[in-house]
Amino acid sequence: MPKDFDHIVIGAGISGLGAAHFSTRRGLKTLILEASERIGGCINSQRFEALGGYWTEGGGHTCFNSYGNMLSILDDLGLTAQVQPKVKVGYSLWKDGKRRKVTSQLHFFEAARSIPRIFKAPKVGRSVRDYYGEVLGQRNYQDLLQHAFQAVICQPADDYPAEALFRRKPRRKDVIKAFTFAEGISTIPAAIAAQEGLEVRTGQQVAEIQRQDAAFSVRLQDGSALTAGALTLAVPPDVATQLMPAGFEAARDAISGIGMAEIETLVLAFDKSALTLPPMAGLIAVEDAFYSAVSRDFLPDARYRGFAFHFKPNALAPEAQVERACAILGTSPDRVAAQAHVANRLPALRSGHGERVAKLDTALAGTRLGVTGNWFFGVSMEDALTRSRSESDRVFGQ
């Protein structure tokens, strides 16, 4: 049966874009189908045209020189030379209505007593609360670390797998340690999607996927169908469960219990005259309606400042979110120059996640169905691309 494409990828977040990039570089005719009208997923540089194109990150906000797979893509696309250094600004805690130093909640003597355990304490199979409470102390975890970790993953951190929170990666010394781009991190998805040989179609709702002999058939909700020799699901686990074709029941069962965390992100831009706050990386919330606030101060603009507040789901109505954020920033809603509300979803991983992934990989072995996302090794952009690279190698050969 003739095929429309060599490879179809479902999902245009960084996982799907990475999977498509790797197959395109192999010379394979590749198509990405994205349900929304926007590519990038959790990479979302909110651009305000009314402010002359000023942007603030509404999702992922930092790349590092330890992101090896991402840097290989930047090398391929000629983007490595365009990276912008980030100004060194620090985070503060937001507790009891005041900004405080992060170290104000650190119990130094407890940390000094506990930290030697980090060299022998097992990490695999343990929760964040269990592991970090042991190696840095229970009081440090309760008063500081749990809030800092929640700020990173935008969800309760206690039961998150410890091995999925941070993974050590080798650094490339020829690249700035922490970087962004002049137009934000959305520069990366845009460049991947624009390369020759890769087609991206947005607003495409997939109704069903079937395996047909040595090919896959993707039926869209408008009734049309496309075929490919290989297919990659680069979607959240709940969506992957729904789209898994017949014959892959073991794969579906392996991931059917993985949850998702909803995050309500409020992006605000202000004229500099509206704020008296010193430059900062952002705020880590302690027992508040939001997990964290991340600023655009790492790449200063001549006129504007921007902040993204990551609110807990259903904690506040949209108008109340604006009022709360402005109160924290020491200004008023009428001083907001531009705003946007962004809905983000991140995987809510739990103990035993490694076993789930192992069962999935066993079920996929020997097939041309790939499954990738930010729910395998961790939620960072590099974690997602690491999975996409390994699935590309498995499906198409190294």
Percent of the chain with pLDDT over 70: 99
Q: In whole angstroms, what separates CA 1 from the centre of its chain?
A: 38
Percent of the chain with pLDDT over 90: 87
Tell me what pLDDT residue 2 has.
67
Which of 338, 286, 319 is CA-nearest to residue 92?
286
Tell me what pLDDT residue 187 has.
97
Phi, psi of 288 (to 5 degrees): -140, 180
Tell me what pLDDT residue 57 has.
97
Tell me what pLDDT residue 323 has.
98
Average pLDDT rounded to a whole number, residues 177-184: 95
Three-state SS at 83: coil
Which of 385, 373, 369 is CA-nearest to residue 345?
373
Which of 293, 313, 297 is CA-nearest to residue 305?
297
Q: Is the pLDDT of residue 370 over 60?
A: yes
Burial per residue of 367-382, b for 16 or more beta-carbon CB atoms within 10 angstroms, e otherwise: bbbbbbbbbbbbbbbb
Which of 66, 367, 76 is CA-nearest to residue 194?
76
254 within 8 A of 365, measured Cβ to Cβ: no
Whole-angstrom distance, CA of residue 338 vs CA of residue 255 = 40
Whole-angstrom distance, CA of residue 307 vs CA of residue 326 = 10
Whole-angstrom distance, CA of residue 271 vs CA of residue 338 = 9
173 within 8 A of 389, measured Cβ to Cβ: no
Tell me what pLDDT residue 196 has.
93
Confidence of residue 1 (pLDDT cuts 50, 70, 90): low
Tell me what pLDDT residue 168 has.
78
**Sign of the Cα pseudo-torsion (319, 321, 327, 329, in order):** negative
DSSP-assigned states of every residue in 148-184:
HHHHHHTS--TTSBGGGT-------TTS-SEEE-TT-
Tell me what pLDDT residue 361 has.
97
Alpha helices in 84-168 (DSSP H): 108-114, 128-136, 138-140, 146-153
**Sign of the Cα pseudo-torsion (52, 54, 58, 64, in order):** positive
Tell me what pLDDT residue 213 has.
84
- Convert the pLDDT of each residue in 10-66 to its tens digit: 999 999 999 999 999 999 999 999 999 999 999 999 999 999 999 999 998 889 999
For residue 265, the tally of other CB atoms under 10 A from its CB is: 25
361 within 8 A of 176, measured Cβ to Cβ: no
Whole-angstrom distance, CA of residue 229 vs CA of residue 209 = 13
Whole-angstrom distance, CA of residue 291 vs CA of residue 379 = 16
Range among 184-193, 208-217, 370-379 rated most confident: 184-193
Beta bridge partners of 347: 260
Listed range (145-149, 281-285, 378-382) with the worst mean pLDDT:
378-382
For residue 360, the tally of other CB atoms under 10 A from its CB is: 22
- Convert the pLDDT of each residue in 81-121 to its tens digit: 999 999 999 999 999 999 999 999 999 989 888 888 888 88
Which of 206, 188, 187, 223 is CA-nearest to residue 9?
206
Domains of the chain, start order: 5-43+186-257+351-396 (3.50.50.60), 105-164 (no CATH)
pTM: 0.94
For residue 74, the tally of other CB atoms under 10 A from its CB is: 23
Q: Is the pLDDT of residue 335 over 80?
A: yes
Between 80 and 61, whose confidence is greater? Answer: 80
Whole-angstrom distance, CA of residue 187 vs CA of residue 196 = 16
> Angle CA(52)–CA(283)–CA(236) in degrees, nearest 5?
80
Q: Which residue has the tokens 């097939």?
A: 367
Query: What mean pLDDT value characterizes the chain?
Result: 94
- Convert the pLDDT of each residue in 196-231 to its tens digit: 999 999 999 999 999 988 899 999 999 999 999 999
Q: Is the pLDDT of residue 125 over 90?
A: no
Tell me what pLDDT residue 117 has.
86
- Convert the pLDDT of each residue in 278-329 to its tens digit: 999 999 999 999 999 999 999 999 999 999 999 999 999 999 999 999 999 9
